Structure 1
């Protein structure tokens, strides 16, 4: 089976360095969330400034994804890949050392834009270098890094919860250090089979924006966007407001609500590793069918119980078991397999940007909707998850098989032809 073939260490290194985009993206969002109360007290923030900082993180990531993906296709993915991580480090340092809320806001702007720019660019870089039989695993591994970003930020927030601004600076400081180390390693990274670039770092041929609006690009871009935005509305709601909903709707204590979220993180990490193992095999899409049904069932139970604590506990169990096999990791892999290679960064940057914009708007209204009617909120999310499952089925049944036939560098889950020595003609 294609998914069992060993991947050379240089490609795993590339996947880890590209995955740092996901680590820093998740780490930035969670760190700001964890530190927000500390910032509010230390900088004597008003409620509008606190809200602005929270919204700007998501908004800047959206804008950065849109602009960064396009710049990568125009001026060279490796050039943008190296410099956006350096810009993130600068932004994270400004956040860490900020003496006031205005400086903090500047740091959030820089780090958010850079994090957004790095998401589609880094995925395109590792996808360019990966042979078809390894592309799924290497791209899926970036989702492991995303989970680690959340885990580290929440763990540090828990351990440093009584240390005030010192703890807040350590939480964001580790992001700056991680970004600088990643920048240094990316600058020296050598990959096989990556597209050549000119001496100035630009792509050999500038890709016209018209290429994005062809049927070959538009159909998979639309399908992956519909999947990601509908699935993400549920995932983002519980990512940002899971603790809030447990406290305000389920009547859990703050410590219990935090403990529930922390307890389920290891499950998500382990199952994301499991997804990586099957990401290049037919089991990737077979498991999606089961996981999507379980994921919908989880939200149905939460909705039927109107967010009661017992129902929410069942929800969290089912959601964590299913999410790694029917969530963002699928979106990342499907995008690389179905989108044309020459516009991959631009098109995925566009789907990232539009989705994050929708998430930001939805987050603004979520607390009010939860206060008005938890049932309406939960049933709305259930409908979104159902739509995501249908979009995923379309991608699996139509787009992935088509990409294996029509799109250069597309999906190829067939067992490869081997030489007498046992090596594929595609192996290096």
Structure 2
């Protein structure tokens, strides 16, 4: 049995600064992923007016960014396992920077679309690659906290862009360009720091954990390794959790304001204010999750939070149309999802998936899930128009299914994880 956390009565050992540096630079993949999606949403109306877009082009840009992230995750995770994670780790972020520059300077909608395609593909490719790099770099006692920290970066990406969009809302295209320019600058700075990161090859006698690139002759993982029981079962289980939980989370992320305005009768300013007020709650509680991610409280909090999450959606459905009921639902959701959401998926994936196929398998779960989210988002406005309560009951059911999948992962897969699952694959962080 793999040991994933210290004994209940023992404090978690401290994490070295160099590992936090790896987690931060890898977490920029999550930051830039979230920031790209939100920035397209925040700037879409400005792009539509500035480029005289038709409705189909506006819709295409919104859908394509999600689809490209899905495709990038699928291809990038596999390429990282075949050609080496360090190589893709640096290339992904550089391609993202180029895409963000194209978006920022785009003179027309076609050029904008090219930038979105490139940045979306690169963001998707970097997600499984960067998580695998963190997992490979992390000792057993710190893996959960370092992986969970990438979720904090994801929250920061949302918050920074939302607040920037709010502050620059009266500046038109200049504000839109400033928002995406910040993505380009952040990506270039991350690329520079990643390229200077001291990642070494070969065994390190001073470390019992080994974390960076395989020698060239050892690189490349046979695709058949993905379809073994050791890889397939945790891949399917983590996918089942992420896709069912993510259907609700993605719907709320994209359509909370739309729901409040069209169903509950709130004004646009009230709906935006509710979103802004609740974002810091999610950030603070995600930081709290980082503190417990390697200990037994992680799983105990999951049990409590997943029940609260289901109850929150049930309350939202039963009180549909009442702003007070929606507020109760939304606050409960913000209090629960940091302990029963994507951060758990990231940690469980690293604890249960074999190290040599981690990039490929997590790339598959990310890609298929994001594809499902994009398809559901496309029909969500029509479903809300036809029957908002039916949509919310379906989401409530999805949250219940995610709870079942999560309990199976916690009770069965994590305790069964073989020692080679928590062993590093192809990278280590050099001592400095």
The match for 1:197 is 214
Partner residue of 1:44 out of 27, 42, 52: 52
Partner residue of 1:60 out of 56, 65, 68: 68
Q: Secondary structure at the match of 2:140?
A: coil
**2:235·2:361 contact (CA, 8 Å) conserved in 1?**
yes
Distance in 1 separating the partners of 2:321 and 2:161: 26
**2:84·2:220 contact (CA, 8 Å) conserved in 1?**
no
**1:15·1:138 contact (CA, 8 Å) conserved in 2?**
yes
Partner residue of 1:350 out of 364, 374, 379: 364
Distance in 2 separating the partners of 1:210 and 1:254: 51
**Residue 176 to residue 275, structure 1, CA distance change in 2 (3 Å):** same
Q: Deviation at 1:406?
A: 4.6
Partner residue of 2:32 out of 24, 47, 56: 24
**1:73·1:203 contact (CA, 8 Å) conserved in 2?**
no
User: Is structure 2 residue 336 aligned with structure 1 residue 322?
Assistant: yes
Greater shift, 348-357 or 187-196, is seen at 187-196
Distance in 2 separating the partners of 1:289 and 1:21: 29
Distance in 1 separating the partners of 2:130 and 2:274: 32
The match for 1:12 is 20
**2:265·2:321 contact (CA, 8 Å) conserved in 1?**
no
Distance in 2 separating the partners of 1:40 and 1:196: 45
Distance in 1 separating the partners of 2:390 and 2:246: 18
User: Is structure 2 residue 269 aligned with structure 1 residue 261?
Assistant: no
The structure 1 segments of at least 4 consecutive aligned residues displaced by more than 3 Å after TM superposition are 405-408
Structural mapping, 1:59-78, within 5 Å: 59-78=67-86
The match for 1:86 is 94
Any idea what the Cα deviations from partners look like across 1:378-426, whole Å, max 9, x if unmatched?
00100000000000000000000001x4543169xxxxxxxxxxxxxxx
Distance in 1 separating the partners of 2:103 and 2:252: 25
- How many residue pairs match? The answer is 409
Partner residue of 1:250 out of 244, 253, 264: 264
Distance in 2 separating the partners of 1:136 and 1:307: 39
Partner residue of 1:117 out of 121, 125, 128: 125
**Residue 196 to residue 83, structure 1, CA distance change in 2 (3 Å):** closer
- Higher relative CO (CA 8 A, sep ≥ 6), structure 1 or 2? 2
User: Is structure 2 residue 168 aligned with structure 1 residue 160?
Assistant: yes
Distance in 1 separating the partners of 2:361 and 2:411: 21
**Residue 113 to residue 181, structure 1, CA distance change in 2 (3 Å):** same
Any idea what the Cα deviations from partners look like across 1:157-181, whole Å, max 9, x if unmatched?
0000000000000011100000000
Distance in 1 separating the partners of 2:87 and 2:100: 21
The match for 2:347 is 333
User: Is structure 2 residue 187 aligned with structure 1 residue 179?
Assistant: yes
Q: Secondary structure at the match of 2:107?
A: coil
Q: Deviation at 1:213?
A: 0.3
Gaps of 5+ in 1: 412-426
Q: Deviation at 1:234?
A: 0.2
Q: Deviation at 1:120?
A: 0.1
Distance in 2 separating the partners of 1:356 and 1:102: 24
Distance in 2 separating the partners of 1:307 and 1:136: 39
Query: TM-score, length-normalised on structure 2?
Result: 0.93
Structural mapping, 1:106-145, within 5 Å: 106-145=114-153
Structural mapping, 1:270-309, within 5 Å: 270-309=284-323
Any idea what the Cα deviations from partners look like across 1:187-218, whole Å, max 9, x if unmatched?
011247224433xxx57231110000000000
Q: Secondary structure at the match of 1:70?
A: helix
Distance in 2 separating the partners of 1:231 and 1:141: 20
Distance in 2 separating the partners of 1:379 and 1:238: 13
Query: TM-score, length-normalised on structure 1?
Result: 0.94
Distance in 1 separating the partners of 2:410 and 2:307: 15
Q: Deviation at 1:307?
A: 4.0
Distance in 2 separating the partners of 1:90 and 1:195: 26
> What root-mean-square deviation, in Å, do the aligned CA atoms of Structure 1 and Structure 2 show?
1.5
Q: Secondary structure at the match of 2:157?
A: helix
